[in-house]
Amino acid sequence: MKKIQIDDCICHSKIDKHLEIKEKLLSLIDKSDDGTGYTVDSYYTDSISRLDWNVSKNFQRPWVKLLLPEFIKSVTEIIKTLGYNTIELYAMWYQQYLNGDTHGWHIHGQHFTGVYYLEFPDGCSKTEVCSPFNLKSKAIEAVEGDIIVFPAHYIHRGAPNKNIRKTIVSFNFDIKADPIEGQPSLNLSLIDKE
């Protein structure tokens, strides 16, 4: 068997109004009734203090409704640089990590996935992504307010966190490979199943 290396990328951008929406997003997340507490998954060695994965396909949650306009703006810019013009957003959820929390190596099911670093003080653990070509991991040098997007089949993890709270928003979306003439435009389709 032979591997043929091709160029691929991890897209790294910003949520423009991060400073304007951060505190309101965190307040809405703190008030949300996500129905989860401390989560441990021994197979994936996950230990995440708080998350709302169980309702990730519900785009009517207050914090999601607040974030979506800024998310759409950032993702539109990202997918244009990749040559696409349509996405279907399948899921969006938050994860809060406390001291020792981790999300083990894993992949996602859609075409692309990503992370918005909503609350990311200095000293928090970084996202690590592993290239399928050489299986070498790379820590993403992100700061609060950044958003990264990468192919969902890339193996990645949230390394063990220090004693400072970290809050991220993760998401999954598919790309529709529509023929593109001129400048692409975003046709967002929410796959709202709840």
106 CA to centre of own chain: 13
Going by their DSSP bridges, the two strands 146-151 and 112-119 should be labelled as: antiparallel
Positive or negative, the CA dihedral 80, 81, 84, 90 is negative
> What pLDDT is stored for residue 45 in this prediction?
58
Topology of the domain comprising 11-190: Jelly Rolls (2.60.120)
> What pLDDT is stored for residue 71 in this prediction?
96
Percent above pLDDT 90 for the chain: 58
In tens, the pLDDT along 64-84 reads 999 999 999 999 899 988 888
> What pLDDT is stored for residue 38 in this prediction?
46
Positive or negative, the CA dihedral 133, 120, 142, 90 is positive
> What pLDDT is stored for residue 184 in this prediction?
45
Q: Which of the 8 DSSP states describes residue 102?
A: B
- Whole-model pTM: value is 0.87
> What pLDDT is stored for residue 43 in this prediction?
47
In tens, the pLDDT along 159-183 reads 989 879 999 999 999 987 665 555 4
In tens, the pLDDT along 79-108 reads 988 888 888 999 999 999 999 999 988 999
